[in-house]
Every structure is written in C-alpha cells, then in structure tokens.
Chains A and B, each alone.
Chain A
Amino acid sequence: EAGVAQSPRYKIIEKRQSVAFWCNPISGHATLYWYQQILGQGPKLLIQFQNNGVVDDSQLPKDRFSAERLKGVDSTLKIQPAKLEDSAVYLCASSLGLAGGPRTTDTQYFGPGTRLTVL
C-alpha cells in the first residue's frame, strides 16, 4: 500500500515570495491533516479536512496561509507572502476518517514532509 506522498521535499525561497506544497493521501482516507514542525518543536496542526470540508483550521494563520482539498483527495497548502518564521517542515497526514463516535479514533499516517527555508 502506497503511503502519504508529498512534494516537493525541499524548497528554498526569499521572504515575501509565495510557495505551495502538495499532498496525496493514502487511497481511501477521508481525513487529511497539515502540520507545521518548527525545528526543535513537535508538529502543530494547521488544518484538518474531512473529505473536502474543513474540520479544524483554528491554528492556521489565515492572513498568509491557505489550503484546499478539491474533490476530497489531494490537497495543497499555500503560503503568500512567506515570512522568515515560516521556515519549518510541513507534514501531511491522513487517516481513514471512520465515522465512529466517542471512544473511537483512527491512526494518522504521515508523509515524509516538505522542508521549507525562507531567506
């Protein structure tokens, strides 16, 4: 079974430029997550999609970050304009998104990440 795919693996840009990351989740996974991992910290959730709808984007800096998941499969995360503090690894994850209620949970499977350096 193919895992979560992300591209590019590395990106270097100047501040104020724009950048986009792409994620292809595991086939059949309804839920997709974008996490930001700054060096020396644990990942932080930016946005969670259930199919093509947003479940949680409370920590997404909406003035510069945007994300979409058209057709409920692939997703793109965009930063425009980038700041120095956006330098991080951006991790995409997916899970089955079972419609279970309380006391149920899915395993989140992570992609290899995109390392962004903003100069």
Chain B
Amino acid sequence: AQTVTQSQPEMSVQEAETVTLSCTYDTSESNYYLFWYKQPPSRQMILVIRQEAYKQQNATENRFSVNFQKAAKSFSLKISDSQLGDTAMYFCAFMKDRSYNTDKLIFGTGTRLQVFP
C-alpha cells in the first residue's frame, strides 16, 4: 500500500523569505503523480503544484517549485518570496497511474505553515 509522510507538523517563515516543506512517500509503482495541496483556514483545498513521476524535470508554478527525487521517494515544496496569503495547511498527496482505474488521492498528515510579517 502507498503511504505519504510529512515529518514537519508546523513551519514558520518570514514574509519574502524562502521555505521548504518536506514529503516522502512509499510505493512500488513506477508511474504515479504527486501533488501539493494548500488548505487555508477557510478549508477549501486548492491544488498548488503537480508532478508526473515519469517526467524528470521538476515542476514549477510561479513562486512554487518542487524537488522531486524519484529514487529517494522524496517530493519537497519550495515557496519563494513567501507572502502572508501563503499561510495555510499544506498537504502532500500521491495518486497511482490511471491504468489502475482510480483517481484516489492519498494524503499525508499535512504541514501547517505560518508566514510572519
């Protein structure tokens, strides 16, 4: 079975600084997807960034980028130029390839990020 581990329950960063959130996962699959979701205090989960395991290039979305290390089964999220609006719970999630006929997301326990002015 697949598992996702986020070892940092809480992180804090000053506005405009850079912060990295860690995620490791366990799977025997070779094709899969990894995601970072953001859940602000209002609770609506929003997709931040997605990485396809068969792509070697790390995904980037504006201030958000990932460091995907497939052999190490590591998937960290870097937030550059942190903003107050980045304050939220961040979840790392895993999904098997669609050939298994399921789009189930398997989530980690989350990292609460606080951005200070």
Contacts and interface: CB of A to CB of B under 8 A. Distances in A.
Interface in B51-68: 52, 54
Interface string B36-47: 010000111111
A61 interface: no
B103 A95 contact: yes
Contact of A43 (B42, B44, B46, B107): B107
Given A45-B104, A108-B105, A103 B43 contact: no
Interface residues of A, number: 31
B105 A45 contact: yes
Interface stretch (A20-28, A66-74, A76-84, A110-118): A110-118
Interface residues of B, number: 28
A89 to B, nearest CB: 7
A41 B44 contact: no
A113 B108 contact: no
A110 B42 CA distance: 12
Given A42-B4, A43-B107, A110 B45 contact: yes
**Main SS of chain A's interface residues?**
loop
B28 interface: no
Nearest to B89: A42
Interface of B: 4, 31, 33, 37, 42-47, 50, 52, 54, 91, 93, 95, 97-99, 101-105, 107-110
Given A35-B105, A105-B33, 4 more contacts: A43-B107, A45-B105, A103-B97, A111-B44
Interface of A: 3, 31, 33, 35, 40-45, 48, 55-56, 89, 91, 93, 95, 100-113
